[in-house]
């Protein structure tokens, strides 16, 4: 099982990623071992998730959401 997730960072920006283990991945982001984006901005918490049966499906959704403007991402998590 794969998860798409959105993290709200300390600077109020949003980071989108995929993983097989949400708790582990958030811990990596918080300990500065995650993506460069969250290392620089400080990961706060996961604010949205979706489940997918395959990595391919999760990656396609990740690409779709990453192409969205901020306002559309905010509408998704509200």
The secondary structure of the chain as a DSSP string is -EEEEEEEETTS-EEEEEES-HHHHHHHHHTT-S-HHHHHH-EEEEEEEEEESSHHHHHHHHHHHHTS-HHHHHHHH-
Tell me what pLDDT residue 32 has.
86
Domain CATH for 30: 3.40.1440.10
- Domain with 45 in it: 2-77
Total number of domains constituting the chain: 1
Residue-wise pLDDT for 25-74, tens only, equals 999 999 988 888 999 999 999 999 999 999 999 999 999 999 999 999 99
Predicted pLDDT at 78: 87
Q: Kindly report the pTM of this predicted structure.
A: 0.93
pLDDT of residue 14: 97
């Amino acid at each position: 099982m794969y998860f798409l997730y959105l993290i709200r960072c300390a600077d109020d920006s949003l980071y989108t990623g995929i993983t097989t283990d949400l708790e582990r991945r958030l811990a990596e982001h918080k300990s500065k071992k995650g993506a460069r984006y969250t290392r620089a901005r400080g990961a706060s918490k996961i604010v949205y998730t979706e489940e997918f049966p395959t990595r391919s499906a999760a990656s396609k959704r990740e690409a779709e959401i990453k192409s969205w403007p901020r306002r559309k991402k905010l509408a998704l998590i509200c």
